[in-house]
Amino acid sequence: MRVAVLQATGLVNSAAENLRRLSSQAREARRRGADLLVTPELFVSGYAPTLVHTKDGTVHREQLAAIAREYAIGLVASTVEHEGGRHYISASFFNAEGTELTRYRKQNLFGSSEKSVFTPGADAPAIVEFHGANVALGICFDVEFPEFVRAAALAGAELLCVPTAVPLRESDSTGAQPFDTRLIPSMVVPTRALESQVYIAYANHAGPHFAGLSTIADPYGRHLSAAAADGELIVANINLNTLSQARRDTDYLSRFAPGTEANTNEGHQ
């Protein structure tokens, strides 16, 4: 399977323009042979939780399904979801016919703005088959927890698709920058891919306010492709033979799967 990741910054409350850009990138991804396109967190509405949470994304999901159908490409995209008076950050996976295969609600909300207006999801992501691979969804902060990625891998995921909006941190009053969030896509994401032996397709918004560095990482912890600029589309192949080899080389999953006993006497060390 060939996967594309879009790095682009959604304009807040400018859904028509964001959808136009997404449609153009879906066409380009398909031209470059991609079977699946992964897009950033809340790209259609723009990432501004306190400004966009009041509008349910049902219409946006219908428009996203139409884009997937028009270009015959799988599409992972994030929208606002309302149910029972609660608001969620969700991600949908549409197949090339525009059918929504699964929808996942973000479990690990980040920061005061998300927590003030959204409810965390309660359910683990489903595993769905697409082009011969088992795919699961996560959203942004989820992937920063090793337990989340490991649980998805143990459930059968081979590819984790992660719409993301990682902002850059402002300097404090002394001018110091306590945490460079660019470390998340550059270091944490490939580490998660390595330690849980999955592919990760991670789609972020771009600068100057977001960390960018969207990536496709393989189960050896390598960046197969990484983005630098706004509006950049990166593409890489998901090879299940490579995944199988990585799991044979270092059996992290089998050693710590539920119901098994860790064995520390064998392995590469």
Q: Which of 41, 81, 114, 158 is catalytic?
A: 41
Residue 150 is part of which domain span? 2-250
CB 145 within 8 Å of CB 120 = no
The per-residue pLDDT for 258 is 61
Residue of 187, 202, 192, 179 lying closest to 6 (CA atoms) = 202
Q: Is residue 260 part of a domain?
A: no
Tokens of 57: 């994304």
CB atoms within 10 A of CB 189: 29
* Rounded percentage of the chain residues whose pLDDT exceeds 90: 86
Report d(CA 159, CA 135) in Å as an integer: 5
* Rounded percentage of the chain residues whose pLDDT exceeds 70: 94
Q: Is residue 86 part of a domain?
A: yes
How many helices and strands, by DSSP H and E, does the chain display? 9, 12
The residue whose two tokens read 């941190």 is 169
Beta strand residue intervals within the chain, DSSP E: 2-7, 36-38, 74-83, 86-94, 100-105, 128-130, 133-137, 159-163, 199-203, 215-217, 223-226, 232-237
Which CATH number belongs to the domain containing residue 70 in this structure? 3.60.110.10
Q: Is residue 111 part of a domain?
A: yes
Q: Is residue 145 part of a domain?
A: yes
pLDDT, one tens digit per residue, over 124-147 is 999 999 999 999 999 999 999 999
pTM beyond 0.85: yes
Q: Is residue 165 part of a domain?
A: yes
The per-residue pLDDT for 268 is 47
Mean pLDDT of the 56-63 span: 98
pLDDT, one tens digit per residue, over 171-221 is 777 777 678 999 999 999 999 999 999 999 999 999 899 999 999 999 999
Report d(CA 99, CA 111) in Å as an integer: 32
106 is catalytic: yes
Residue of 9, 5, 45 lying closest to 206 (CA atoms) = 9
Q: Is residue 268 part of a domain?
A: no
User: Residue 126 carries which DSSP code?
Assistant: P
Q: Is the pLDDT of residue 3 over 70?
A: yes
The per-residue pLDDT for 173 is 73
Tokens of 51: 């400004």
Q: Which of 81, 114, 140, 161 is catalytic?
A: 140
The per-residue pLDDT for 263 is 47
pLDDT, one tens digit per residue, over 71-126 is 999 999 999 999 999 999 999 999 999 999 999 999 999 999 999 999 999 999 99
User: Residue 8 carries which DSSP code?
Assistant: -
Q: What is the 3-state secondary structure (H, E, C) of 152-193?
A: HHHCCCCEEEEECCCECCCCCCCCCCCCCCCHHHHHHHHHHH
Q: Which of 17, 70, 97, 106 is catalytic?
A: 106
How many domains in the chain? 1
CA distances from 148 to 41, 88, 94 (A): 18, 18, 22
Residue of 126, 117, 113, 120 lying closest to 76 (CA atoms) = 126
115 is catalytic: no
φ/ψ of residue 209, rounded to 5: -105, -10
Q: Is the pLDDT of residue 266 over 70?
A: no
Report d(CA 181, CA 57) in Å as an integer: 28
| 267: confidence class by pLDDT, cuts 50, 70, 90 | very low
| 264: confidence class by pLDDT, cuts 50, 70, 90 | very low
CA distances from 39 to 25, 85, 244, 253 (A): 10, 27, 27, 28
The per-residue pLDDT for 257 is 63
The per-residue pLDDT for 176 is 73
